[in-house]
Chain A
């Protein structure tokens, strides 16, 4: 028997509150553990994945641009000239720029992924704070984390050398008109090189030089 009245209700409320605190803490730990796999190694792999995706495309475009340049220089007899070397250096520099762009894009995508993952982790912890059953949120973390592990689709590289081609290959065209040796055979208003002279060894994927005023 007891002269004081029972405080069972308050004790139960405190016990429930402590249990909820423990559940929130446990769910938070579980979420953090689930997301702990997203470490530097994971992000480095994602950076590498984009580079592995983009660099072969860049290599292919470089090859095509080299071939275009080769066609045009050979057609003018400038294959071993200093101008050819300068254009080659310019193309090499442009290749360096494009490689840098690819590395930057890879790092930017990795940073974006880092932000997305951190945001998701934060959202899940915030949900656990207010959920009636925080353990369910911890379970949800598994599916969320696995979605980030799945391979993602990268944007297409685009025409990496289009600016360079417009600027320098255009100059090669123009230089033909200023070449006195070629002046007699070229009309600035109706110029067209025969395609047959460009097919040897380079394939037929390139359109012939043409000019119309």
Chain B
């Protein structure tokens, strides 16, 4: 039989191992929560970078130089369209036609029309530029809205991940709590036993002490295994 002191010591050791397990479980849960937040932040940074790239691209299309280029392109397109339309004959001139009909295909009217077209083309260029700008802005806004939607979708899982991380080591914490409680009970039982004259620890008491030490070692091993299950092997006790 072991003495009350021995039982008290054994209980204390078991309680210590249990507390160690609980602390380790809490530490791992904190780490898991931090990992979930860090992972989410990394994801959000990617969305942020993508959104910034979209915005920069949109801004690049809004510079005075870009606007001038768009206007010039619209002007050229309009000029080409006018020339194309003007080249299409609407009436047929015949040699027997009256003189006023000759003027229809005459150079004077052609020169006037050409001048009008030249002056009107830049106006069409402005119009084209505005339409193109409107479309560019719309496309940029659409891309930014989608980026925000995907970002929101990714962020929506964070509370669930945090909750899962918070409870990820509940098994280890429970085991630690059980061990701690058992150790407390054993210690309490040991302190209530009557004192004996024997001061030396009995062989059975010694084996209990050794067992308690191994129990603590096992507790630490379990904690380490929980932190790094792949590389840890349960040997040596």
CB distance B128 to A118 under 8 Å?
no
Contact mask A63-104 → B, CB, 8 Å, 1/0? 100100110011000011100111111011101110110111
Q: How far is the CA of A89 from the CA of B124 in the complex (A)?
A: 26
CB distance A4 to B170 under 8 Å?
yes
CB distance B81 to A80 under 8 Å?
no
Within 8 A of A (CB), among B81-123: 81-82, 84-86, 88, 90-91, 98-106, 108-110, 112-113, 116-117, 120
Binds A, one of B8-16, B60-68, B152-160, B204-212: B152-160
Find A89's partner among B103, B138, B165 (CB 8 Å cutoff): B103
Q: What are the residues of chain A within 8 A of B28 when measuring CB–CB?
A: 4
Find B85's partner among A21, A55, A74 (CB 8 Å cutoff): A55
Q: What are the residues of chain B within 8 A of A115 when measuring CB–CB?
A: 131, 134-135
Q: Are A3 and B85 also in contact (CB < 8 A) when A80-B99, A93-B109 are?
A: no
B226 within 8 A of A: yes
CB distance A17 to B103 under 8 Å?
no
Q: What are the residues of chain A within 8 A of B71 when measuring CB–CB?
A: none
Q: How far is the CA of A96 from the CA of B108 in the complex (A)?
A: 11
CB distance B160 to A9 under 8 Å?
yes
Q: Are A88 and B149 also in contact (CB < 8 A) when A3-B226, A111-B131 are?
A: no
Q: How many residues of B contact A (CB 8 A)?
A: 60
CB distance A103 to B81 under 8 Å?
yes
A7 within 8 A of B: yes
CB distance A66 to B101 under 8 Å?
yes
- Classify chain A: how many residues form its interface, as a range: 35 or more
Q: What are the residues of chain B within 8 A of A5 when measuring CB–CB?
A: 167-171
Q: How far is the CA of A70 from the CA of B113 in the complex (A)?
A: 23
Q: What are the residues of chain B within 8 A of A92 when measuring CB–CB?
A: 103-106, 108-110, 113
Q: How far is the CA of A1 from the CA of B1 in the complex (A)?
A: 36
Q: How far is the CA of A107 from the CA of B226 in the complex (A)?
A: 70
Q: How far is the CA of A19 from the CA of B59 in the complex (A)?
A: 32
A188 within 8 A of B: no
CB distance B160 to A125 under 8 Å?
no
Q: Write the chain B residue with the least CB distance to A17.
A: B157
**Is chain B's interface secondary structure helix, strand, loop, or mixed overall?**
helix
Find A59's partner among B90, B149, B171 (CB 8 Å cutoff): B90
Q: What are the residues of chain A within 8 A of B163 when measuring CB–CB?
A: 10
Within 8 A of A (CB), among B136-186: 138-139, 141-142, 145-146, 149-150, 153-154, 156-157, 160-161, 163-165, 167-172, 175
Q: What are the residues of chain B within 8 A of A108 when measuring CB–CB?
A: 127
Q: How far is the CA of A51 from the CA of B127 in the complex (A)?
A: 19
CB distance B116 to A100 under 8 Å?
yes
Q: Write the chain A residue with the least CB distance to B36.
A: A10
Q: Are A17 and B100 also in contact (CB < 8 A) when A3-B222, A5-B167, A89-B109 are?
A: no
Q: Write the chain A residue with the least CB distance to B90.
A: A59
Find B138's partner among A20, A62, A95, A119 (CB 8 Å cutoff): A119
Q: How far is the CA of A119 from the CA of B135 in the complex (A)?
A: 8
CB distance A24 to B91 under 8 Å?
no
CB distance A7 to B164 under 8 Å?
yes
Q: What are the residues of chain A within 8 A of B90 when measuring CB–CB?
A: 55, 58-59, 62-63, 95, 99
Q: Are A3 and B109 also in contact (CB < 8 A) when A10-B163, A88-B101 are?
A: no
Q: Are A17 and B156 also in contact (CB < 8 A) when A3-B222, A62-B90, A115-B134 are?
A: yes
What are the 4 A-B residue pairs with the smallest beta carbon separation, nearest first?
A96-B113, A88-B100, A92-B109, A88-B103
- 5 A–B contacts from the bound complex (CB under 8 Å): A4-B168, A24-B146, A66-B101, A73-B100, A93-B109
Q: A21-B153, A99-B90, A103-B82 are in contact. List 11 more A-B contacts (CB 8 A).
A: A3-B175, A3-B222, A3-B226, A10-B163, A73-B98, A79-B99, A89-B108, A95-B104, A100-B113, A111-B131, A126-B145
